Amino acid sequence: MKTVLLLGATSDIGQALADKYAKEGYTVWLAGRNVQHMQDIATDLKIRHEASVEYFRFEALDYLSHQKFYNDLPGTPDVAICIFGYLGDQEKAEKELEECQNILDTNYKAAVSILNIVANSYEESGTGTIIGISSVAGDRGRQSNYFYGSAKAGFTAYLAGLRNRLFKHNVHVLTVKPGFVDTKMTEHLELPAPLTAQPQKVANAIFKAARKKNNSIYVLGIWWLIMAIIKSIPEPIFKRLKL
């Protein structure tokens, strides 16, 4: 039976992925900070899908703990998905170093730290799939969220590099740019409904893309178009826009 490791399992996308992979017959390993919450999710999946589920405490910002976390897993997962992220507060981050660092560390450093460990393990075993949840915000820096955006841009570039490195070792790397998703993280924002995906839809798209060995996906097709336009605007014009 195949196993999936979900890093950041209590997020909305994490929960939706857990449900999807459990439904598809995978053994699901949840990793996150809130043990009680993971226990509730695990119980639910066991009853709903008669799935095999375990959960492990994982602290994304405690980089030094990552190796031990990975070594302590009951085995090597077939699929590892890095979901955790922190949207943060753009304006606060402009003024306060702590918020700024929190955004950069969670979305970039922590993700890189844990995926390095997974990548080395997969390279050695010559098999595996790594999936990183990046963001459309990383496609181009905009004044409204460039801390989050730049961290995700770094993460996207990291995943591309990883894909390049691991291809010859039969390891697949998938970059996911979900666009707006209706989650707890975005609940306070006013998101346009046609551009906003439900977490279940994101999970289904990821599962499908991983099976088809896609390299990079937008969940809603419309986002490809939007980002193509945003990326194509010349910088002299772009810098004058309110985006």
- Give catalytic residue positions: 148
User: Of 40 and 91, which has the nearer Cβ to other proteins?
Assistant: 40
Residue 222 three-state SS: helix
In the chain, beta strands by DSSP E = 3-7, 27-32, 53-57, 79-82, 129-133, 172-177, 180-181, 196-197, 216-218
Instruction: Find out whether 223 and 195 touch, Cβ atoms under 8 Å.
Output: yes
15 binds other proteins (CB under 8 A): yes
Using CB under 8 A, which of 1, 64, 98, 190 touches other proteins?
Answer: 190
Least separation, in Å, of the C-beta of 43 and other proteins? 7
145 binds other proteins (CB under 8 A): no
Task: Find, among 154, 59, 145, the residue nearest to 100 by Cα.
Answer: 145
Least separation, in Å, of the C-beta of 56 and other proteins? 18
Task: Find, among 82, 79, 21, the residue nearest to 52 by Cα.
Answer: 21
User: Of 11 and 129, which has the nearer Cβ to other proteins?
Assistant: 11
Least separation, in Å, of the C-beta of 34 and other proteins? 7
194 binds other proteins (CB under 8 A): no
As a whole number of angstroms, the distance between CA 182 and CA 176 comes to 16
34 binds other proteins (CB under 8 A): yes
As a whole number of angstroms, the distance between CA 151 and CA 218 comes to 18
187 binds other proteins (CB under 8 A): yes
Q: Interface residues with other proteins (CB under 8 A)?
A: 10, 12, 15, 34, 36-37, 40-41, 43-44, 47-48, 184, 187-190
